[in-house]
Amino acid sequence: MKKSLVACAFVVLTGLLSASSVLADDILIKFKGGIGAIPISNVAVNATTGAVTVNRNVVRGVNSPGQIWRIADLDATIKTNGDISVAGNGLVLAGGDNIGRATGQSVFATLICEATAPFTEHSTTLTGIQLAPNGDFKIDDVLAPVPPAECASPVLLIRTAGSGNWFAAGIPVLK
């Protein structure tokens, strides 16, 4: 009797451990922390002609916004089946007349796994969800198309539903 109880407990415990390892393997990538968008990546002045060249801060083919944005915190988990959960706090303008405000923007998330073009955008619903006045947001959705089983060079962009420009990027938790 005692042996069968121990054996039964062992089977249940093994099953629970197996189930938890399957759930852990379900995660493709996590992001912790965020970076706000700065529209310009660099400015060059030609020493001879004085001509000024301004380069936009384009990330993997996605344009930056026209104004600086900041994000206080971002936490995201993406599963291998495309399920995505993103919690963001304080995504607000960091310049201009509406500084410190979200101004009614709606945002969606895009995962890009390729380091070089061509890039495949795996996005949540493009109509997005509206930012709270303080810039907080929560996205629970499914990426389309579903990302590949391996995401070698992950970039998570939080984008405006209007123009598709990126406002913030997640910081990947690399193993």
Q: Is the pLDDT of residue 145 over 60?
A: yes
Q: Is the pLDDT of residue 171 over 60?
A: yes
Read off the pLDDT of each residue in 143-165 and give the average, rounded to a whole number.
97
Beta bridge partners of 79: 27
85 contacts 137 by C-beta, under 8 angstroms: no
Residue 175's pLDDT band, with cuts at 50, 70 and 90, is confident
Query: What is the per-residue pLDDT across 95-138, written as a single tens digit (0 to 9) for each?
Result: 999 999 999 999 999 999 999 999 999 999 999 999 999 999 99
Query: What is the per-residue pLDDT across 36-65, written as a single tens digit (0 to 9) for each?
Result: 999 999 999 999 999 999 999 999 999 999
Q: Is the pTM of this model over 0.75?
A: yes
Print burial letters for 153-167: b (CB count within 10 Å at least 16), e (below 16): ebbbbbbbeeeebbb
Cis check: omega of the bond before 172, within 30 degrees of 0: no
Which phi and psi (to 5°) does residue 132 adopt?
-65, 160
Distance CA 80, CA 99 (A): 37
Residue position matching structure tokens 């420009």:
165
Which of 157, 166, 153 minimizes the C-alpha distance to 28? 153
